[in-house]
Amino acid sequence: ALRQASMQPAFPDLEGHHPCFSTTAEGHAKAARLHLPVSPACNIACAFCRRDFNRVEQRPGVAARLLKPGEAVAVVERALRLIPNLTVVGIAGPGDPLASDHAIDTFARIHARWPELTLCVSTNGLMLPARVDDLHAAGVTTLTVTVNAVDPAIQAAITPKLAWQRKRLDGLAATERLIANQLDGIARAAGLGLTIKINTVLIPTLNDHHIGAVAERVAAAGARMINVIPLIPEHQLAHLREPTFIERHKARAAAARHLKVFTHCQRCRADAAGVPGLTDYTRDLYGDDLVAE
Residues in contact with ligand SF4 by the rule CB under 6 A: 19-20, 33, 42, 44-46, 49, 51, 61, 93, 95-96, 124, 227, 265-268, 276
CA atoms 279, 282, 283, 285: torsion sign: positive
| Residue closer to ligand SF4, measured from CB, 137 or 223 | 223
| Residue closer to ligand SF4, measured from CB, 61 or 129 | 61
- How wide is the angle at C-alpha 152 spanned by C-alphas 146 and 153, nearest 5°? 120
In one-letter notation, the amino acid at residue 111 is H
| Residue closer to ligand SF4, measured from CB, 100 or 266 | 266
Provide the 10 A C-beta neighbour count for residue 168: 11
Q: How far is the CB of 46 from ligand SF4 (least distance, A)?
A: 3
| Residue closer to ligand SF4, measured from CB, 44 or 228 | 44
CA atoms 204, 208, 209, 214: torsion sign: positive
In 68-207, alpha helices (H) = 69-82, 102-113, 128-137, 152-158, 171-191
Q: Is 167 helix (H, G, I), strand (E, B) or coil?
A: strand
- How wide is the angle at C-alpha 205 spanned by C-alphas 267 and 216, nearest 5°? 70
| Residue closer to ligand SF4, measured from CB, 166 or 289 | 166
Q: How far is the CB of 96 from ligand SF4 (least distance, A)?
A: 5
In one-letter notation, the amino acid at residue 31 is A
| Residue closer to ligand SF4, measured from CB, 61 or 69 | 61
Q: How far is the CB of 207 from ligand SF4 (least distance, A)?
A: 14
| Residue closer to ligand SF4, measured from CB, 69 or 148 | 148
Range 128-133 contact pairs with CB under 8 angstroms and sequence separation of 24 or more? 128/98, 128/181, 128/182, 128/184, 128/185, 128/186, 128/188, 128/189, 129/181, 129/184, 129/185, 129/188, 130/98, 131/98, 131/104, 132/185, 132/188, 132/189, 132/192, 132/194, 133/192
Q: How far is the CB of 155 from ligand SF4 (least distance, A)?
A: 12
Task: Give the integer Cα–Cα distance in Å for 291 and 227.
Answer: 31
Q: Are strands 195-202 and 225-230 parallel, antiparallel or unpaired?
A: parallel
Q: How far is the CB of 265 from ligand SF4 (least distance, A)?
A: 3
Query: Which phi and psi (to 5°) does residue 19 adopt?
Result: -60, -30
| Residue closer to ligand SF4, measured from CB, 45 or 253 | 45
